[in-house]
Amino acid sequence: MKDKFDRRSFLRVAGTSLSIGALYSVFPALARSAQADGVVRTLAELNGEAPAPFSFIQLSDTHVGFNGPPDPLGTKAFESAVATINGLKNRPELVIVTGDLTHDADSPDEHAKRFKLFKEISSKIGGAQIKVVPGENDAALDGGDMFREYMGPTHYSFDHRGVHFIALDNVSAGRPAVGAEQLAWMKTDLARFPKTAPIIVFTHRPLFDLKPEWEWFTSDGDDVMNALAPYENVTVLYGHIHRENFHQAGTTKMYAARSLIFAFPDPAMTPVKKPAPFDKAKPFKDLGLRRINGNADGNDLKLEEIELATAEFSGTVGMDQMLKHGSNDSKDE
C-alpha cells in the first residue's frame, strides 16, 4: 500500500503511579490513512468495538494472608489501594492484578479463606471489571485448582475498546513455564488479528531472564516472545519481582509492577534476595507503582513515582530516565 501508516503509534499506553498502583491511559493513536482506517474497521469486526481511549489500573502481589516480618500490616496496602481507586475522579474501566493475589498456605482451608478475603476486598472496587492471573503463591501447590474455583480460568483473553488482552499463566505447572498447550492456544488466539493490532499481555513472572538466580524468569519465555514478535503493538505487564522495571524486546515494551505487601531490592545493588526491611516511619515505602503520563499522540511522555499513601509526587523525570530502569546501572530514587 502506498499510504503511510505509523504502525508504532497504533497503541500508546501511558501510565501513572498513584498512591495505589499503575494507572494506564490507553490511546490508540492512528494516522489518518486508508490503511489505518482499514485496521480500525478490521478490529471493529473482530471484537465488535473499534479502538477508543480508556484507562485501567494494574495492581500486583497483594499476598493476602501474609502478616509478619518484613511487613506486619497485612492487607492494609491493598485496602488503601481499593480506597484510592474509588476516590479517583475518572474511574478506570479495568483493574488487572498480575498474580500472587494470596500468600500460599499449607492448609487448603486457610488458603480458601485467603482467596475469599481477596475477593471481599477487591469487590469493593466500584465500576471496574477485575481481571486476574495467578502467581505461584496462588497456584503452584495444587496446579491452580483453588484459583480456578474462586477466581476463574488461569489463562484467557478478552477485548476491550478495540484492544486485545491476553492473560497468561506461567506458574500453575509448578515451575516458571507457560507450557506447550497454552502457547498453542495463544498462537491460535492471536492468529485472527492483523499484525498491527493493539495487544496487552499480562502475566505474573517476567517473560525474559531478568534475574534467573532469583527466580525472576519464565523458562519458555523466549517461545512466548517469539510468538508475539510479529505483532507491532504489544505491551506486557507483570509482577513477581516486587519492584518497578522496564524492559524492551524489539517493539514489545514490558513493565513490572511494585507489590502491595513488601519490596525487593535492586539486584544490581545486592547479591542477596531479601525483602527490604520494614520502616515504621514509612510503612508503605516502595509500595505502589509507576505512572507514565503522556498526551493522546504519545508525545512528551513523563515518568512519575508516588509511594503508597503519599499525597504528593516524589519525582518527575523524562522518558529517557524510564528507559534506564531495569538496566544494571539503574536504581530507584
pLDDT confidence of residue 274: 81
Looking at every residue in the chain, the average pLDDT score rounds to 78
- Residues 40 and 262 sit within 8 Å (Cβ to Cβ): no
Tell me the C-alpha distance between 21 and 290, whole Å: 7
- Identify the band that residue 4 occupies on the pLDDT scale cut at 50, 70 and 90: very low
Strand order in the sheet with 156-160: 156-160, 163-167, 198-202, 233-238, 252-256, 245-249
* E strand spans, 286-325: 290-293, 302-305, 315-318
pLDDT confidence of residue 333: 29
**Which residue is listed with cell 515451575?**
175
pLDDT confidence of residue 29: 60
pLDDT confidence of residue 2: 35
- 267 vs 207: which has the higher pLDDT: 207
Whole-prediction pTM: 0.80
Buried b vs exposed e over 294-325: b needs ≥16 C-beta within 10 Å? beeebeebbbbbbbbbbeeeeeeeeeeebeeb
CA distances to 17, 20, 31, 246 from 14, rounded to whole Å, are 10, 16, 18, 13
Most confident of 64-73, 77-86, 195-204: 195-204
pLDDT confidence of residue 271: 86
* E strand spans, 34-184: 54-59, 94-98, 129-133, 156-160, 163-167
Torsion angle in degrees (nearest 10) through CA of 162, 163, 164, 167: -140
The per-residue pLDDT for range 269-321, each reduced to its tens digit, is: 888 888 776 665 565 566 653 333 333 333 333 333 333 432 222 222 222 22
| Beta pairing partners, 27 | 12
- 28 vs 120: which has the higher pLDDT: 120
pLDDT confidence of residue 233: 87
Tell me the C-alpha distance between 259 and 240, whole Å: 8
The SS3 call for residue 95 is: strand
pLDDT confidence of residue 296: 36
The per-residue pLDDT for range 189-233, each reduced to its tens digit, is: 999 998 888 899 999 999 999 999 999 999 999 999 999 999 988
- Identify the band that residue 324 occupies on the pLDDT scale cut at 50, 70 and 90: very low
In sequence order, which residues have a C-beta less than 8 Å from that of residue 85 and are 6 or more positions away? Answer: 20, 57, 91, 92, 95, 125, 128
Query: Which of 45-49, 271-275, 324-328 is least confident?
Result: 324-328
- Identify the band that residue 7 occupies on the pLDDT scale cut at 50, 70 and 90: very low
Percent of the chain with pLDDT over 90: 44
pLDDT confidence of residue 263: 84
**Which residue is listed with cell 496487552?**
200
pLDDT confidence of residue 67: 82
pLDDT confidence of residue 56: 86
Query: Which of 82-91, 128-137, 173-182 is least confident?
Result: 82-91
Q: With 50 as the cut, is the pLDDT of residue 239 above it?
A: yes
DSSP letter at 99 equals S
Query: Which of 76-90, 99-113, 131-145, 205-219 is least confident?
Result: 76-90
> Domains in the chain, please, with CATH?
7-322 (3.60.21.10)
Query: Which of 49-58, 122-131, 169-178 is least confident?
Result: 49-58
The SS3 call for residue 147 is: helix
Q: With 90 as the cut, is the pLDDT of residue 64 above it?
A: yes
pLDDT confidence of residue 317: 25
**Residue 76: how many other CB atoms lie within 10 Å:** 18
For 174: left if phi > 0, alpha if psi spans -120 to 50, otherwise beta; the answer is: left
pLDDT confidence of residue 191: 95
DSSP assignment of 217-260 equals S-TTHHHHHHHHTT-SEEEEEE-SSSS-EEEEETTEEEEE---S
